[in-house]
Copies of this chain bind each other. A is one copy, B any other.
């Protein structure tokens, strides 16, 4: 292809995209203000994790002598970057229904509010640490394969997920738009565990393996709850779409409940009572009283030998 044709082709492609940017209103560019930036928010989240677990993710020893400098430096960085992202999130939220390019970025007006919100989140870090310290213990107590508290902090997806969730949940409570969900979906992409920032979760929370877990926005979870891979704490129906917004659509799980792999617990009025155990693959849409053990009469197995003859469960021929 000669150079002239190549340039012309590129020009045409650009022109067609510019037309498309105007036509597809739902996904138009926003010209007024930068949008919150996913990469920056993820970087902030990683630095907050370093503030929560000093020395674990830094690559150097955080001895007593340097701990205050390490903490101060990280905290200033996180505060400033987070403030900036909150400004963009608030601006976008305000401009949402009016995407005119004439809108100006109300950066100056929002600095104070964003600064305050950023400080409020950072002031929650000691409480978040208090909760996470119990979560790490919960993992050690619950998993025979765990070798140490450090191994759990370094590598367990359940701990990564609940760390990110506890941060995102504080942002959710402060009505910060967009950022909590970006955090929770970052965590989802790393762990396969999808916890909506709205979910309320108590102490000593442990998710083992975790891939496929879904915990909905209005879920309430007590202390000492243990959940396995593939568990859904979900809504009965989302057919109402946006009309259901704000209603309690997801279950309540009381203290000391264990929910085994693949089980679904659905519905805003569904309460799993204290100390109950929900077996693998159970499908629960009604409340379960405290102390109850629910298991599933597993679907009957059909066994055939190599000659395709059916076998009984004791493997003698039918």
Contacts and interface: CB of A to CB of B under 8 A. Distances in A.
B315 A299 contact: no
B232 A232 contact: no
A21 B101 contact: no
Interface residues of A, number: 152
A60 to B, nearest CB: 5
**How many protomers of this protein does the assembly include?**
3
A154 B142 contact: no
Contact of A181 (B151, B181, B291): B151
A30 B62 CA distance: 7
Contacts of A63: 29, 31-32, 101
Contacts of A289: 305, 315
B283 A130 contact: no
A158 B188 CA distance: 12
A55 B75 contact: no
Interface string A33-65: 111111110000000000111111111111110
Nearest to A226: B238
A108 interface: no
A21 B296 contact: no
Interface string A1-34: 1000010011001101111110111110111111
